């Protein structure tokens, strides 16, 4: 509940408007934001930034921050840096779509007008006459026969025509003089005064109460620094994350992959042999729901942050990259043990799940991700394999997503990385005289193509016909990382379980889940053979509402000419029988073209049609029509209509609330038994590794 | 595809500086592949270059975004730099009849992970020329935008919900002289002047490699 209280305060702060009152600062109460938040959990010695915001123009005279009663500057042995800014508030963009109503009141034109975010002019109305004032200059506005058009008399724009604009609802949006347009302010920004201590180290194990005094406000949070583990059971840790994977998806993929006879699955998934199984909650700081950024951040830092934020506690400052940071597991392991670090993903490497391993930022915008690429270079993981080439080439090169001149491919190369840009190059990087010590493999400008397109519907690959699969990338990473006797920490992400179930594409999502399990199987086999002191943890970052509720007889379904006739093909309970997927080549991936297929749907989505059959092209279930997502006539045209269950502007399905499964193998696996928040997975991995960042040199 | 029926034009959509009220989209049939392209009948766009010209379109437009531009100003800024920038094809392709029909498949010869997209000789040779293209209008962010994104296939995703980096490569940014148009999910045909090279829209920050300054916009049925 304490988390919720803070979240509410933060929300209030965002919405707050400045109130100029006559009370003195000592008496006035101000919203205060303390980051890290209440009940934040640390390992001793973990680096973090500590920010206190007070939402007022200047810090009150009695402003004070203490930690367990000691002034914070004394406690940390460092003075903070002051940083002030404004946040919130919005300027209406000038438009002139509307016409004045018959009873238009000229006084409604009075108010402050802005150029971009800067207040530049005030228009006042008195007795039906308008005056203009800015920068100490004034002018009167002489009326014309149009109530929106005035002639400026006096001041720097003497003689010019000033034209107000109304929006379609008749509200004033701003005015123009010549080529310049000025917007009306719709809400005032909030002032924030803050202090920040950067790169502090968490103190020894214990509880620490941080108390902030600001005017009449006194606010306290408690941080918990945990006892570090003293025994290192695992030398290596591999964290497998299937983005968006849930138990219903695993169940369906297992049947499709392994087959089922007389009620018994004919084979096992690699994850089925887990030594410990857990359930992890995925809630974020600001909502019960979650996205891949805050969840991956929880896995990598042990801190619970806001949706879209990674490696940081979100503040209200304009910059998305200066929010107070918390240290990642990879950073601590490198500091404490000199371990090698690797990331393997089927997404753009700047995407949320891989980036949480090294990056710090508030959101997932393109500009932020371009910075995550720089942060990746600064961090220099020994292995980085995935997509995202668009963030490694300089602006000005066709196809770049950067806005600066950084040629990060070349910078990585200069830093000693072997570079691979295709499956062939990845293979040859590993078959040279010596294994590379550092490996950068980028195989697509964006996300890698999914297994089904790489192996079956290859027309969808475009120019990228030589991409490696997740099994090959995983084993390549292990091979390079295992050269370090100090051990390694590798994250392997299957990104498109999520990316394909968003557009409701069950076959593409489940195929990638099968590939994920095969990569896990290869890693387990490697560990058993070569490094039994390897902890392997498998989880999802969040869930999706996919479920199978029966089967579909395709012939009956497709013979229908109405939805009622098509639905006759949907079979449940005993009638469902078994799907008839086959796997003639025995590679574990079924031929999704079958006579009887899963009746599998997602429990939320836009209006769309569903035919339950594999789509030769990636699905686009709904299209935008005047801001409302409606069924895409080109997607599953033979399908039954499923009414939208999301806001009209939602184009695809969304994440759902359920706990996600956790499977653990190897030394330290026991810690993952139970039900807990996913941030505990960080502490479980740290425990197995005997990690005590305070002991690092 | 299935665009086979000629639909009678509903109204004329002119894209001169002063466009008529209630502009509608003309419905026409899709271009027959392999046949002579139609002759241009509409007037060219007359947008005045408003900014200083520069060597690189990106350098000239990668400025902090201006939030309060007048309608058409971002298009004029882009056109100014586009006019100044003349890309050189590796091997010049010449054309006899205008507008030249071009498809998204003809934009690029490939992608090199280290050096980016390889623009086709045909595309680069067309810089500054009249072309006709067909595709779909990506979901617009705001009605008052004076451009839209022409895509090869219908896109489900809100282009600005995530980031410009999420766009596919095969898109063209279409500037309209008139600030607004009727959003449509139908297939459309755009006729206008094509400009090649990286450019950042001054209003939205949208990065594009291919822009069309449209003379006419029609829907296909």
Q: Tens of pLDDT along A137-153? A: 889 999 999 999 999 99
What is the second-level CATH architecture of the domain A264-488+496-518? 3-Layer(aba) Sandwich (3.40)
The residue of chain A with its CA nearest to that of B111 is A463
pLDDT band with cut points at 50, 70 and 90 for residue B144: low
Please report the pLDDT score of residue B27 as a whole number: 62
| CATH classification at residue B149 | 2.40.50
DSSP codes joined into one string, A366-386: HHHHHHHHHHHHHH--SEEEE
Q: What is the mean pLDDT of residues A376-390?
A: 97
Cβ pair A389:B113 closer than 8 A: yes
The answer to whether residue B136 is domain-embedded is yes
The token pair that represents A270 in the structure block: 């690699």
- The pLDDT tens digits for A166-214 are 888 888 888 888 767 788 877 777 899 999 999 999 999 999 999 999 9
Please report the pLDDT score of residue A399 as a whole number: 86
Cβ pair B116:A397 closer than 8 A: yes
Cβ pair A651:B158 closer than 8 A: yes
Q: In what helix (H) or strand (E) does residue B123 lie, and over which residues does it extend? A: helix B121-125
DSSP state of A351: S
What is the rounded CA–CA span in Å between residue B111 and residue A674?
Answer: 48
The answer to whether residue B206 is domain-embedded is yes
All residues of chain B having their beta carbon less than 8 Å from the beta carbon of residue A176 are 70
Provide the number of CB pairs (under 8 Å) joining chain A to chain B: 124
For residue B187, the enclosing domain spans 40-216
- Residue A594 confidence (pLDDT) above 50: yes
Q: Which of A438, A512, A509, A424 is nearest to A468 (CA)?
A: A424
A624, A626, A636, A649: best to mutate for the B interface, most B CBs within 10 A: A624
Cβ pair B163:A369 closer than 8 A: yes
Does A36 sit behind a cis peptide bond, omega within 30 degrees of 0 on the bond before it? yes
All residues of chain A having their beta carbon less than 8 Å from the beta carbon of residue B58 are 395-396
Per-residue CA distances from A48 to A321, A331, A457, A632 (Å) = 14, 12, 47, 47
- The pLDDT tens digits for A598-651 are 999 999 999 999 999 999 999 999 988 777 899 999 999 999 999 999 999 888
Cβ pair B62:A369 closer than 8 A: no
Please report the pLDDT score of residue A116 as a whole number: 62
Q: What is the pTM of this model?
A: 0.83
List beta partners, residue B188: B135, B219
- Residue A689 confidence (pLDDT) above 50: yes
Q: Which of A435, A437, A325, A423 is nearest to A380 (CA)?
A: A437
The answer to whether residue B20 is domain-embedded is no
The answer to whether residue B15 is domain-embedded is no
Nearest to A181 among B68, B117, B165 (CB): B68
- Residue B156 confidence (pLDDT) above 80: no
Per-residue CA distances from A203 to A198, A226, A694 (Å) = 14, 10, 8
Smallest CA–CA separation between B217 and chain A, in Å?
A: 18
The answer to whether residue B168 is domain-embedded is yes
Cβ pair A393:B114 closer than 8 A: yes
The residue of chain A with its CA nearest to that of B56 is A396
* Domain range list for chain A: 2-87+190-225, 90-187, 264-488+496-518, 547-655
Tell me how crowded residue A515 is: count the other CB atoms within 10 A of its CB: 27
Q: In what helix (H) or strand (E) does residue A436 lie, and over which residues does it extend? A: none
A113, A179, A351, A396: best to mutate for the B interface, most B CBs within 10 A: A396
Please report the pLDDT score of residue B152 as a whole number: 86
Query: Which CATH number is associated with domain A2-87+190-225?
Result: 2.60.40.10
The residue of chain A with its CA nearest to that of B171 is A399
- The pLDDT tens digits for B76-120 are 888 888 988 888 888 999 999 999 999 999 999 989 999 998 999
- Residue B165 confidence (pLDDT) above 50: no
Please report the pLDDT score of residue A680 as a whole number: 98
CA B27 to chain centre: 18
What is the rounded CA–CA span in Å between residue B208 and residue A121?
Answer: 35
- Residue A674 confidence (pLDDT) above 50: yes
B106, B165, B203, B206: best to mutate for the A interface, most A CBs within 10 A: B165
What is the rounded CA–CA span in Å between residue A343 and residue A353?
Answer: 10
Cβ pair A620:B153 closer than 8 A: yes
Nearest to A632 among B110, B113, B154 (CB): B154
Residue A68 CB-density burial (10 A; 0-12 exposed, 13-18 middle, 19+ buried):
middle
Cβ pair A393:B116 closer than 8 A: yes
All residues of chain A having their beta carbon less than 8 Å from the beta carbon of residue B155 are 620, 623
Does B99 sit behind a cis peptide bond, omega within 30 degrees of 0 on the bond before it? yes
Q: How many domains does chain B have?
A: 1
Is this prediction's ipTM beyond 0.95? no
Nearest to A395 among B62, B111, B185 (CB): B62
Cβ pair A396:B198 closer than 8 A: yes
The answer to whether residue B28 is domain-embedded is no
pLDDT band with cut points at 50, 70 and 90 for residue A371: very high
Strands (E), A376-455: 383-387, 418-420, 439-442
The CATH number of A90-187 is which of 3.10.690.10, 2.40.128.50, 2.40.128.630, 3.40.50.1820? 2.40.128.50
Smallest CA–CA separation between A308 and chain B, in Å?
A: 11
Interface residues from chain B to A (CB-CB < 8 Å): 56, 58-59, 62, 66-70, 73, 108, 110-111, 113-119, 139, 144, 153-158, 162-166, 169, 183, 185, 198, 200, 207, 209
Per-residue CA distances from A94 to A109, B80, B128, B186 (Å) = 13, 23, 32, 30
Please report the pLDDT score of residue B73 as a whole number: 77
All residues of chain A having their beta carbon less than 8 Å from the beta carbon of residue B141 are none
The answer to whether residue B34 is domain-embedded is no
Look at A279-293, A481-495, B141-155 and tell me which has the smallest mean pLDDT.
Answer: B141-155
Cβ pair B209:A446 closer than 8 A: no
Tell me how crowded residue B18 is: count the other CB atoms within 10 A of its CB: 7
- The pLDDT tens digits for A153-166 are 988 888 888 999 88
The residue of chain A with its CA nearest to that of B73 is A179
């Amino acid at each position: 509940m304490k988390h919720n209280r803070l979240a509410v305060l933060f929300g209030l702060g965002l919405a707050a408007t400045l109130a100029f009152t006559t009370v003195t600062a000592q008496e006035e109460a101000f919203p205060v934001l303390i980051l890290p938040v209440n009940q934040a959990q640390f390992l001793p010695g973990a680096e973090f930034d500590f920010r206190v915001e007070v939402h007022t123009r200047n810090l009150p005279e009695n402003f004070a921050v203490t930690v367990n009663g000691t002034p914070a500057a004394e406690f940390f042995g460092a003075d903070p840096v002051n940083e002030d800014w404004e946040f919130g508030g919005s300027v209406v963009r000038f438009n002139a779509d509307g016409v004045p109503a018959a009873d238009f009141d000229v006084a409604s034109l009075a108010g402050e007008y802005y150029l971009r975010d800067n207040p530049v002019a005030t228009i006042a109305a008195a007795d039906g006459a308008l005056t203009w004032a800015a920068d100490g200059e004034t002018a009167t506005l002489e009326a014309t026969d149009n109530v929106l058009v005035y002639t400026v008399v006096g001041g720097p724009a003497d003689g010019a025509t000033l034209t107000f604009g109304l929006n379609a609802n008749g509200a004033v949006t701003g005015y123009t003089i010549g080529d310049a347009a000025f917007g009306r302010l719709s809400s005032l920004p909030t002032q924030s005064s803050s202090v920040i201590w950067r790169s502090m180290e968490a103190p020894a194990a214990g509880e620490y109460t941080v108390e902030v005094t600001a005017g009449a406000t006194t606010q306290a949070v408690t941080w918990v620094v945990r006892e570090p583990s003293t025994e290192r059971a695992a030398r290596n840790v591999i964290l497998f994350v299937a983005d968006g994977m849930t138990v219903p998806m695993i169940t369906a993929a297992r049947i499709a992959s392994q087959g089922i006879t007389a009620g018994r699955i004919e084979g096992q998934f690699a994850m089925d042999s887990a030594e410990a199984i857990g359930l992890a909650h995925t809630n974020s700081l600001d909502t019960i729901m979650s996205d891949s950024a805050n969840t991956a951040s929880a896995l990598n830092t042990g801190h619970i942050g806001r949706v879209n934020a990674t490696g940081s506690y979100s503040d209200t400052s304009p910059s998305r990259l200066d929010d107070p940071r918390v240290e990642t597991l990879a950073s601590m392991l490198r500091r404490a043990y000199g371990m090698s670090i690797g990331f393997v993903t089927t997404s753009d490497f700047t995407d949320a799940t891989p980036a949480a391993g090294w990056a710090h930022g508030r959101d997932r915008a393109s500009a932020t991700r371009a910075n995550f690429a720089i942060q990746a270079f600064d961090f220099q993981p020994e292995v980085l394999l995935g997509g995202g080439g668009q963030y490694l080439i300089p602006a000005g090169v066709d196809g770049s997503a950067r806005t600066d001149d950084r040629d990060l491919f070349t910078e990585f190369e200069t830093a000693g990385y072997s570079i691979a840009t295709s499956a062939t190059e990845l293979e040859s990087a590993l078959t040279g005289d010596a294994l590379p010590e550092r490996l950068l493999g980028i195989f697509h400008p964006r996300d890698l193509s999914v297994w089904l397109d790489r192996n079956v519907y290859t027309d969808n690959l475009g120019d990228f016909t030589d991409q490696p699969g997740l099994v090959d990338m995983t084993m390549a990473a292990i091979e390079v990382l295992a050269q370090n006797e100090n051990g390694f920490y590798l994250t392997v992400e299957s990104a498109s379980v999520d990316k394909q179930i968003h557009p409701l594409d069950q076959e593409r999502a489940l195929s990638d889940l099968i590939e994920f399990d095969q990569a896990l199987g290869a890693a387990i086999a490697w560990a058993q053979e070569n490094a039994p002191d390897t902890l392997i943890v498998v989880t999802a970052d969040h869930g999706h509402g996919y479920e199978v509720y029966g089967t579909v007889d395709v012939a009956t379904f497709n013979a229908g000419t109405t939805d009622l006739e098509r639905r006759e093909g949907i079979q449940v309970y005993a009638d469902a029988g078994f799907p008839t997927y086959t796997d003639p080549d025995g590679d574990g991936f079924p031929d999704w073209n079958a006579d009887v297929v899963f009746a599998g749907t997602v429990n939320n989505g836009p209006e769309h049609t569903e035919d339950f059959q594999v789509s030769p092209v990636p699905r686009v279930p709904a299209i935008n029509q005047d801001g409302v997502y409606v069924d895409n006539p080109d997607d599953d045209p033979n399908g039954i209509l499923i009414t939208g269950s999301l806001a009209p502007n939602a184009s695809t399905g969304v994440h759902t609330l359920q706990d996600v499964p956790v499977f653990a193998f190897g030394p330290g696996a026991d810690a993952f038994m139970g039900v807990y928040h996913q941030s505990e997975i960080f502490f479980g991995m740290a425990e197995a590794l005997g990690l005590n960042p305070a002991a690092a040199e | 595809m299935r665009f086979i029926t000629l639909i009678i034009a509903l109204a004329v959509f002119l894209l001169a500086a002063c466009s008529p009220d209630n502009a509608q989209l003309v419905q026409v049939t899709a271009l027959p592949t392999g046949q002579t392209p139609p002759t241009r009948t509409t007037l060219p766009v007359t947008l005045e270059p408003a900014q200083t010209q520069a060597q690189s379109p990106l350098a000239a437009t990668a400025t902090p975004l201006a939030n309060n531009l007048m309608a058409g100003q971002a298009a004029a800024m882009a056109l100014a730099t586009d006019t100044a920038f003349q890309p050189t094809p590796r091997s010049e392709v010449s054309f006899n009849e205008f507008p030249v029909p071009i498809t998204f498949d003809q934009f690029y010869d490939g992608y090199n992970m280290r050096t980016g997209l390889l623009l086709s000789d045909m595309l680069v040779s067309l810089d500054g020329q009249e072309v006709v293209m067909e595709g779909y209008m990506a979901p617009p962010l705001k009605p008052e935008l004076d451009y839209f994104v022409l895509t090869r296939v219908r896109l489900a995703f809100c282009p600005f919900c995530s980031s410009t980096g999420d766009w596919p490569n095969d898109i063209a940014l279409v500037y309209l002289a008139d600030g607004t148009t009727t959003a449509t999910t139908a297939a459309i045909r755009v006729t206008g002047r094509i400009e090649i090279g990286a450019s950042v829209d001054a209003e939205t920050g949208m990065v594009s490699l291919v822009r069309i300054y449209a003379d006419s916009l029609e829907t296909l049925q």
